[in-house]
């Protein structure tokens, strides 16, 4: 076999080996997908616990509907993760099949070439012919070259046989790897089928709860009005506190100017504000659970034509959940307000965090609190739901309500 053929075999083996880092990269992607799936399963487990507690307290309630909506969203995300993993395996299988086809063709060509070499060798296998070939040389140099050629030809046959054996081994490994991937895909397809059935069941339950709630429209509208009144009262209290803070700062500045003195600078408040801003998207959640109502305007989950405006977010959680301060600060007010229960307002320099829906409060006005300090315990409302109303305000005139979801870590 000539040098060109050997180079071709060598390049083939290099190509096969070069494919290995690509497989490692895919393995990393697969690991990421499996991690995402595991996180979804953990979230589902938490939401299931909240859903079961809520349904035990009261069937076909808004709280149960919120938990069902969240479960459906999580179920869809889980199915999406499974689909992505299946797509990744499909790509692996396609590439593996291409590799198998190429290797099978190479083995065929190698065997064909080897057969031709063996045939040629058999024709020249006669010892007398070999001696005649050698001693018919016209010079010593020609004799030396013919001897060298015979040695190289013998080595080429041996190399060809070894190349066939190596390529066949790679081919066998590739086939086994492909079968493993196909088995994994089959298992994932079964998982997808099972999770799709679960999703369909959740959607049936969701429709049942919605129909039940729509029959209670009068009561729900009355509850919405009561909640709006309580939230408006809380908003007025927050507005009053922030306006007083601004007025106090302006009054101190005027008094300083009248004394021809430099206005007093609250360095601690400035540092606290800056630190608060630096931690945007990094704050731990004040309670575990899921967002049952987002910031801003959104349609009512069951009643048509009703729009709810939320100055914060609602976090639905387990019963008796403890609520934690998201950052260091000072308690500016503790108040009991209508159907939303006890509320705690904490100052963080130019920012305020508000926690409403508490049955117990562990702090009082003027207390200094630290990050993750427990400040109260959530109540269970008339729908059997434990839900924290959480808000963040900027110290502007008028006060600016900020979307807390943009400040909490994912």
- Are 205 and 279 in the same domain? no
374 close to 323: Cβ distance less than 8 angstroms? yes
Last residue of one domain, picked from the residues 182, 214, 246:
214
**Which pLDDT belongs to residue 137?**
57
In a domain, 292, yes or no: yes
**Could you tell me where the DSSP H helices lie in 215-361?**
217-258, 267-278
Q: Are 324 and 196 within one domain?
A: no
Q: 158, 191, 214 — which closes off a domain?
A: 214
Q: Considering the domain boundaries, does residue 350 fall inside one?
A: yes
Q: What is the pLDDT of residue 262?
A: 57
Task: Tell me if 181 sits within 8 A of 100, measured CB to CB.
Answer: no
Give the pLDDT score at 156.
Answer: 65
Residue 154 CA to residue 161 CA, distance in Å, equals 11
Both 382 and 319 in one domain: the answer is yes
For residue 114, give Cα distances in angstroms to 109, 150, 346, 348: 8, 16, 84, 82
Tens digit of each residue's pLDDT, the chain (410 residues) = 444 554 454 444 444 444 444 444 444 577 888 888 888 899 999 999 999 988 888 888 999 999 999 999 999 999 998 998 888 888 888 888 887 787 778 777 777 776 676 666 555 554 445 555 555 656 666 656 755 665 665 666 677 677 777 877 887 888 888 888 888 889 989 999 999 999 999 999 999 999 999 999 998 999 999 999 999 999 999 999 998 888 887 887 777 777 766 556 566 677 888 899 999 999 999 999 999 999 999 999 999 889 999 999 999 999 989 999 999 999 999 999 999 999 999 999 999 999 999 999 999 999 999 999 999 999 998 888 999 999 999 988 788 999 999 999 88
Please give the pLDDT value at position 122.
52
Same domain, 24 and 128: yes
Together in a domain, 198 and 249: no
Let me know whether 196 and 258 are in one domain. Answer: no
Domain annotation covers residue 219:
no
Is 72 domain-assigned?
A: yes
CA distance 33 to 84: 8
286 vs 315: CA distance, rounded Å: 9
pTM of the model: 0.74
Neighbours of 174 (CB within 10 A): 19
Say if 220 falls within a structural domain: no
How many domains, the chain? 2
CB contact at 8 A, 46 and 288: yes
Instruction: Indicate whether 78 and 110 sit together in one domain.
Output: yes
Strand-strand pairing, 400-402 and 386-394 = antiparallel
The residues, any chain, with a CB within 8 Å of residue 229's CB and separated by 6 or more, are 338
Q: How many residues does the chain have?
A: 410
Domain of 71, CATH number, reads 1.10.287
Instruction: Identify whether residues 165 and 247 lie together within a single domain.
Output: no
Q: Note whether 153 and 206 are same-domain residues.
A: yes
Give the single-character DSSP code of 262: P
393 with 379: CB under 8 angstroms? no
3-class SS letters over 265-306: CCHHHHHHHHHHHHCCCCECCCCCCEEEECCEEEECCCCCCC
**Position 61 in a domain:** yes
Alpha-carbon gap, residue 365 to 345, rounded angstroms: 9
Considering the domain architecture, whether residues 361 and 332 belong to the same structural domain is answered as yes
* Residue 25: per-residue pLDDT: 44
* Neighbouring C-alpha atoms within 13 Å toward the C-beta of 404: 26
Domain limits for position 374 = 225-406
Residues 6+ apart with CB under 8 A from 33: 81, 84, 85, 88
What pLDDT shows up at residue 291?
A: 95
Residue 373 shares a structural domain with residue 307: yes
Domain stops at, among 191, 214, 237: 214
Please give the pLDDT value at position 358: 97
Q: Is residue 355 in some structural domain?
A: yes
Which residues, 6 or more positions from 206, have their beta carbon under 8 angstroms from its beta carbon?
Answer: 65, 68, 69, 72
Q: Is residue 6 within 8 Å of 155, Cβ to Cβ?
A: no
CATH number at residue 309: 2.70.70.10
pLDDT for position 399: 87
pLDDT number for residue 248: 84
| Contact indicator for 302, 62 with CB cutoff of 8 Å | yes
Q: Are both 161 and 275 inside the same structural domain?
A: no
- Where are any strands of DSSP class E within 351-399? 351-361, 368-369, 374-378, 386-394
């Amino acid at each position: 076999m000539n040098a060109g053929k050997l180079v071709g075999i060598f390049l083939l083996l290099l190509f096969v080996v070069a494919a290995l880092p690509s497989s490692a990269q895919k393995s990393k992607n697969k690991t990421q997908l499996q991690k995402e799936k595991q996180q979804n399963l953990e979230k589902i487990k938490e939401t299931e616990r909240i859903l079961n507690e809520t349904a035990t307290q009261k069937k076909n309630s808004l709280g149960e509907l919120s938990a069902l909506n969240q479960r459906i969203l999580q179920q869809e995300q889980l199915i999406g993760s499974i689909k992505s993993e299946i797509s990744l395996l499909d790509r692996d299988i396609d590439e593996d099949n291409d590799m198998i086809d190429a290797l099978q063709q190479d083995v065929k060509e190698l065997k064909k070439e080897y057969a031709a070499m063996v045939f040629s060798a058999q024709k020249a296998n006669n010892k007398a012919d070999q001696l005649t070939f050698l001693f018919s040389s016209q010079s010593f140099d020609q004799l030396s070259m013919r001897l060298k050629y015979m040695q190289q030809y013998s080595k080429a046959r041996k190399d060809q046989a070894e190349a066939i054996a190596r390529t066949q081994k790679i081919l066998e490994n590739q086939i086994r790897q492909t079968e493993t991937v196909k088995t994994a895909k089959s298992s994932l397809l079964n998982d997808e089928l099972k999770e799709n059935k679960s999703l369909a069941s959740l959607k049936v339950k969701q429709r049942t709860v919605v129909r039940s709630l729509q029959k209670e429209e009068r009561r729900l509208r009355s509850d919405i009005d009561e909640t709006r009144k309580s939230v408006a009262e809380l908003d007025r209290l927050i507005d009053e506190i922030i306006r007083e803070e601004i007025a106090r700062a302006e009054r101190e500045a005027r008094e300083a100017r009248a004394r021809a003195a430099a206005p007093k600078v609250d360095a601690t408040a400035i540092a606290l504000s800056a630190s608060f801003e630096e931690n945007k998207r990094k704050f731990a959640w004040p309670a575990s659970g899921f967002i049952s109502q987002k910031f801003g305007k959104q349609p009512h989950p069951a009643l048509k034509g009703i729009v709810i405006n939320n100055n914060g977010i609602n976090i639905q959680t387990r019963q008796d959940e403890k609520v934690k301060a998201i950052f260091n600060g000072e308690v500016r007010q503790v108040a009991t307000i209508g159907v939303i229960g006890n509320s705690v307002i904490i100052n963080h320099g130019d920012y305020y965090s508000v926690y409403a829906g508490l049955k117990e409060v562990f702090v009082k006005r003027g207390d200094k609190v630290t990050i993750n300090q427990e400040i109260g315990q959530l109540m269970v409302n008339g729908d059997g739901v434990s839900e924290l109303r959480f808000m963040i305000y900027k110290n502007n005139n008028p006060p600016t309500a900020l979307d807390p979801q943009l400040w909490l870590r994912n």
